[in-house]
Chains A and B, each alone.
Chain A
Amino acid sequence: MKSMLAAAALALAAGAAPAQVMPPDALVKDVMLDIQRYILEDKDLRGGDRVKTIQLIEQKALPHFNQLGMTALAVGVHWRKATPEQKKRLVEEFRTLILRTYASSLSAFADQKFEFRPMQIKPTDTDVTVPVRIVQSGTQPILVEYDMEKTPNGWKCYDIRIAGISLVVNYRTEFGIIVRDKGIDGLVEALQTKNKSLDKTQAGAGK
């Protein structure tokens, strides 16, 4: 189960590509191994240093996420009703939540065994799923899937499924209930409150 978390942590790692368009499967592999290397080589990261971990994710992983698209998918049908200002704040708070959540488990995948399988990608493809498997003894390998779409700035990840559980789908249900009860502003507020409470608990347990 530890590697499940590792997968979750790594899930943020779909980034760090050079400027030219790299195929999505190569991109995912590159970034995952790159981040793993950073963790292996840095004692603070292995020990779960929170500031450094957040920095690493921000630099290596986040640039390769379609953060706007991901937030829009998670907010679902209510996205259209949001004002530009609300949208901006939703993207910011959602980004912070995911960053905080995964920062605390990133150190766990220093010693994970990943299995990358070559993919058949046609030049016309604009939306693909890149599978990565985390292999471990005694249990079924954990499947991590990155849903990637082609953009003018390279392939970007818009959803992650860990063992079949989609991040976007999970949040869409949660967000939907909050928006229904308290509106878009209520959702922004709920995210802010959540992020603040995470800041408090993680700062305490971070080291």
Chain B
Amino acid sequence: MLALGLVLAASGCATTGAGDPRDPLETMNRGVLAFNDAADAALLLPAARAYRVVLPEGLRGMVRNFFTNLDDVWIGTNNLLQGKPADAASDGLRFLFNSTLGFFGLIDLASEVGLEKHNEDLGQTLARWGVGEGPYLMLPLLGPSTTRDTAALPVDWLADPVLTARPIALRNSLTAVRFVARREELLDTTRALEEAALDRYVFLRESYLQRRKSLVYDGRPPRERPPAE
């Protein structure tokens, strides 16, 4: 934390003339990415690879379903907060359906019957309410974010059944499994990123900002035509 503060202080003095206006803290963010990469290479990546080897795809899917099912309540709440009661109702139904007939969420039956999974969080809700994204941020261990999304994160956490699970030992185990499982899902994506990007930091930032914008508008952001020339 102290190290982070120092980097932050140092980057505060950096000239921003040449930088991207959406990313005034680029110097610090690049430092955090380097830290994340090191942590990933040392811990998370080997764990994720081992997880892929040990667990067959079918079981990994069940683990993924179990965790994503728990998200549906908070997703529904955010749909409600965004004035989308029909989507919220669908999320609620999904949760009821999958938690019971779907064996505690292990099987995503709801999708089979046409109750589509949504993707919402408080950051998106704030965006819908008109809150701007603010400077781009690279969070330690958590990856790309914006000031708005980071500010919303603690509330997302309070609503997260995994992070609020007790006893603490259970919470820690569930959190660790979920972290590794998510990293495993991203193995191919991070390799593709590695291959596609000339500057991985920039590619990651652009991808995140575009992705968030698309999510805020549920996949239908107002279209900006690239300039013709």
Contact = CB atoms under 8 A, between A and B. Distances in A.
Nearest to A135: B111
Interface string B202-229: 1100110011011100010100001101
Interface string A100-124: 1100110010000000000000000
A165 B214 contact: yes
Given A79-B229, A80-B229, A165 B188 contact: no
A166 B206 CA distance: 9
B6 interface: no
Interface residues on A, range: 35 or more
Interface in B1-59: 18, 20
A104 B191 contact: yes
Nearest to B196: A101
B148 interface: no
Contacts of B203: 170, 174
Given A138-B117, A169-B210, A72 B192 contact: no
A5 interface: yes
A73 B211 contact: no
B195 A138 contact: no
Nearest to B223: A129
Contacts of B199: 174, 177-178
Given A2-B185, A137-B111, A170-B210, A105 B192 contact: yes
A49 interface: no
Name the prevailing secondary structure of the B interface residues: helix
A166 B213 CA distance: 12
B198 A194 contact: yes
A159 B65 CA distance: 32
B175 interface: no
A164 B189 contact: no
Interface stretch (A13-21, A58-66, A139-147): A139-147
A76 B226 contact: yes
A160 to B, nearest CB: 12
B188 A139 contact: no
A26 interface: no
B219 A77 contact: no
A180 interface: yes
B65 A164 contact: no
Contact of B226 (A105, A164, A169): A169
Given A80-B229, A138-B64, A169-B226, A180 B111 contact: no
Interface residues of B, number: 40
Given A1-B188, A5-B192, A140-B117, A72 B198 contact: no
Candidate in B20, B68, B111, B213 with the most chain A CB atoms within 10 angstroms: B111
B211 A140 contact: no
Candidate in B108, B197, B198 with the most chain A CB atoms within 10 angstroms: B198
A80 B229 CA distance: 7
Given A101-B192, A170-B207, A1 B186 contact: yes
A169 B209 CA distance: 11
A108 B188 contact: yes
Contact of B211 (A77, A101, A163): A163
Contacts of A194: 198
Contact of A164 (B107, B111, B192, B215): B215
B172 interface: no
Contacts of B219: 143, 164
Given A140-B117, A169-B206, A170-B203, A77 B111 contact: no
Interface string B175-194: 00000000001111101100
Interface string A125-136: 000000000010
5 closest A-B pairs by CB: A164-B214, A1-B185, A138-B65, A137-B108, A5-B188
